[in-house]
Chains A and B, each alone.
Chain A
Amino acid sequence: MTQDVEMKEQAAPPSDSLSSTAPSIFHHLKEIASLIETGAYAREVRRISRAVRLTMALRKKLKASSLSAFLNFVLVPGSEVHSRLSSFLPKEDEQDMEVDTATSGAQAPIKNPLPELEIYCYLLVLIFLIDQKKYNEAKACSSASIARLKTVNRRTVDVLASRLYFYYSLCYELTGDLAEIRGNLLALHRIATLRHDELGQETLLNLLLRNYLHYNLYDQAEKLRSKAPRFEAHSNQQFSRYLFYLGKIRTIQLEYTDAKESLLQAARKAPQAALGFRVQCNKWAIIVRLLLGEIPERTVFMQKGMEKALRPYFELTNAVRIGDLELFRKVAEKFSSTFSSDGTNNLIVRLRHNVIRTGLRNISISYSRISLVDVAKKLRLDSPNPVADAESIVSKAIRDGAIDATLDHANGWMVSKETGDIYSTNEPQIAFNSRIAFCLNMHNEAVRALRFPPNSHKEKESAEKRRERQQQEQELAKHIAEEDDDDF
């Protein structure tokens, strides 16, 4: 379950020209700080999210010395925040390269730091502490930051806040105290809702769901989920997480069709780098598809980087596909530790029923008439009264529409019906229609999802960049024209 928590960080590409020139981390941090500042004054949330992205690119290089230098630069030394945050940082030898710039920066401290910058410092220190595996300090730091956040009500802080919520929950999860912060998260969610902070609501809802599911509290999770306000997703990562949790809840509650949809969508929406998360989604999706009576294609198990993790599920699928109860039992036993650590053990118990169904379907396709004694033998039902069991199992399968057959009680056999010609019905047309509707809907969604950042055209563009862009546009236009020619 912990693999997926890291997905955001890897997902942030170092997408800026800043990273090409690399003077010092302190320098970078200063630039980020100025970015936040302008963002805060201009009330442009976009700039702040960019600052967060840039920070994630720097994450691996953070050092205590550069951090404390940055704190000295942004915050007033001796102020409450400054002393609290510096106390979390380990005292290191100050004989670093950074010291020079640090002292020069510290000469001109900003008198009253913006709340955005203050929160940003919290975030920076928190990330650093988590990366250094100092979880207890991280817990103290995150709790302090959350207490501070509750008093700040600015839209420009929301982006930073949502990241802080995330790390807050993460460090409690790493120390195994998730239950402790549940009340706090609920309170934060309430605050975020009152402030119309949708990004915060989204993040907190996911954290709460994660919190509940961590303790298998599916009932509470579903109650919260169904009552929490929903809106258009702001962050793709949060949305795919939400879909994953939703899929899990629905699986447990036997709504397999909806569960499959959510899980597959979660796996598709997740960023490419979030391998652990996608593996988890795939595992659940495979089981749900099996429970639905589908057999996932081989390509599902052969996805890059997942072969090993999905191996147990591959063998399980194989057993279900053949419809062999004995093999199924063996596989379930062999990988029981994997399945229980994935939390899928109970679902696999449910699968037994599908194995029988598949076996029965194979029998009904192969034989036009077969005695119930043979059915019991083929299914390897081990019970005191196999024939009676076979009879009732078959009759239930007929009622549920799994096989098309009739039973003859007096003679004790099962007669399979001829499969009708499906093309003489409306069925193909309905299937075709649903596919067309899906494609059209996909197109419409894509159009709706196009986002145009406000004022983007006014942003200063270097001459070189403009030339590059114009050239690209020209090429594109030419390309399109050529394609048009080909068409007609």
Chain B
Amino acid sequence: MDPKLREVSQIFERFKAAFVLNDFGTCSTQLSQLKVLLTEFKSLPPLFQETPNAIHELTIARDIYEHAVVLSVKMEDQDAFERDFFQLKSYYTDARGRLPPSPQEYPILGLNLLRLLVQNRIAEFHTELELLSQSALDNPCIKHAVELEQSFMEGAYHRVLSARQTVPDANYAYFMDLLAKTVRDEIAGCSEKAYDRLSTSDARQMLLFSSDQELLEYVREEHPEWEIKDGFIIFQKVKDSVPCKEIPSLQLITQTLSYARELERIV
């Protein structure tokens, strides 16, 4: 076996051992070591050179990046997730013909979809979705994310929250927790517009707080404009589209003048 490849697999074995023990410090130092070593393989993207060990190298590199993505979820580092995922992605797309599919592929793609949803990057969410085949869409991990997005767009927030119980993979929990926060903000925003007033107990239930204390805390921090009186939250309505009393004369004059100028050019 190639000495470089052997070195990589040895470090990777140690990395995996630390990974199982959730020793994040060791994991990240070893991961950066591994990433540096991987740059020396010419068979990896974007070069894709046909070296004798190509398949082996590609497989181990993919494995390393898959672990890196999961590690970033465990360490709750979204930026690292994004970086590692993009490095991993080309193994799924461009190297598809060279490698047998990885069992981790769909769970990780699903995780990424969930991340985009949490970060409210819906356009990218749909762009990623277009890349998936019909069979991929039927995979429980992907389906979970797709259904979440639908419920989220519809406004069926209870469905989003109950999906927390049916996560297909333990790693999803982190993003689901983040999503719950996003959902709370959404509900608060909607309630503000939809209700004139709401009793504090209803509001507490709706915003998923366990005590009134937490609710008051949240209102004070996020929505100081809400008024709390006699056990009710009163939302300050912004009065919109008041019937026009004044004629916007200056605007009308400029518009009419521009029409005149344009018409003159035509005739």
Contacts and interface: CB of A to CB of B under 8 A. Distances in A.
Given A252-B127, A353-B150, A385-B158, A399 B134 contact: no
Among B126, B189, B198, the most chain A Cβ lie within 10 Å of the Cβ of B126
A383 B158 CA distance: 10
Contacts of B190: 392, 395-396, 398-399
Contacts of A440: 259, 262
A420 B194 contact: no
A385 B159 CA distance: 9
A389 B126 contact: no
Interface string A422-438: 00111001000100100
Contacts of A410: 199, 202
B194 A398 contact: yes
B28 interface: no
A458 to B, nearest CB: 30
A216 B194 contact: no
B122 interface: yes
B170 interface: no
Which of B130, B155, B265 lies at the interface centre, i.e. has the most chain A CB atoms within 10 A of its CB?
Answer: B155
A217 interface: yes
What is the interface residue range for chain B against chain A?
A: 35 or more
B20 interface: no
Contacts of A34: none
A254 interface: yes
Contact of B158 (A353, A388, A405): A388
Main secondary structure, interface of A, reads: helix
A425 B240 CA distance: 11
A253 B123 contact: yes
Contacts of A394: 155, 194
A222 B127 CA distance: 10
B191 A425 contact: no
B198 A436 contact: no
A406 B122 CA distance: 28
A349 interface: yes
Contact of A409 (B131, B156, B187, B198): B198
Given A353-B153, A353-B154, A440-B262, A346 B196 contact: no
Interface string B136-156: 000000000010001001111
Interface residues of A, number: 48
A349 B195 CA distance: 30
A349 B150 contact: yes
A399 B154 contact: no
A310 interface: no
B127 A393 contact: no
Interface string A334-376: 0000001000011001101100100000000000000000000
A389 B123 contact: no
B248 interface: yes
B129 interface: yes
Contacts of B255: 433
B195 A253 contact: no
Given A398-B194, A407-B195, A409-B202, A392 B129 contact: no
Contacts of A16: none
Contacts of A349: 146, 150
B244 A392 contact: no
A216 B131 contact: yes
Contacts of A255: 123
Interface in B161-210: 162, 186-187, 189-196, 198-199, 202
6 contacts: A383-B158, A385-B158, A388-B158, A399-B193, A407-B194, A444-B262
Interface of A: 216-219, 222, 252-255, 340, 345-346, 349-350, 352-353, 356, 381, 383-385, 388-389, 392-399, 405-410, 420-421, 424-426, 429, 433, 436, 440, 443-444
Top 6 A-B residue pairs of the complex, sorted by shortest distance between their CB atoms: A396-B155, A395-B194, A395-B190, A253-B123, A424-B243, A399-B193
